[in-house]
Amino acid sequence: MQGLTLVAAIVAAGLFFAMSAFQVALAAGAPLGDHVLGGRFPGTLPVRPRLFSGIAALLLICLALVVLARAAAIGWPAGISGLGPAFWLIPAFLVLNTIGNLASTSRLERTVFAATTALLAVLCGFVALTA
């Protein structure tokens, strides 16, 4: 099962890194506002949402590292494999995020983002069960 756990963690990390890259693009001013926050800000996001996108990008990178560490794919952050029940906060958060994406008026959020966060919830749940 350890091999599957490693694969699940690597796929999850890749998705987290891809989502982080999208958030970096938003923070940098890419005109993608139609596709996030229910499309409330067409074009480039205002300053505050762009700052939050930058913070989200950092959080997503941290989540990728935590998942990789939980599956023992990397040795940092040290001791993360001992988190136990606290690791379940990640898939729980992703389930809530999926629900939010499904409720969005943005087609991209309802389809691509909801599917991505749902897949991440399953992958992280698998890592939580098997690591």
**How is 41-98 classified by DSSP, letter by letter?**
S-SSPPHHHHHHHHHHHHHHHHHHHHHHHHTTSS--STTGGG-GGGGGHHHHHHHHHH
How many CB atoms lie under 10 A from the CB of residue 83? 17
* pLDDT recorded at residue 83: 66
Residue 19 falls in which region: left (phi positive, over 0), alpha (psi -120 to 50) or beta: alpha
d(CA 38, CA 70): 33
Q: What are phi and psi of 90, to 5 degrees?
A: -65, -55
Question: Angle CA(113)–CA(81)–CA(52) in degrees, nearest 5?
Answer: 35
Q: Which residues of the chain have pLDDT under 50?
A: none
Specify the pLDDT at position 80: 60
pLDDT of amino acid 82: 60
For 77, the domain range is 2-130
Phi-psi group of 54: left, alpha or beta (phi > 0 → left; psi -120 to 50 → alpha; rest → beta): alpha
Report pLDDT for 81: 57
pLDDT for 78 equals 59
Q: Give how many domains the chain has, as a whole number.
A: 1
pLDDT of 2-12, one tens digit each?
Answer: 899 999 999 99
Share of the chain above pLDDT 70, in %: 93
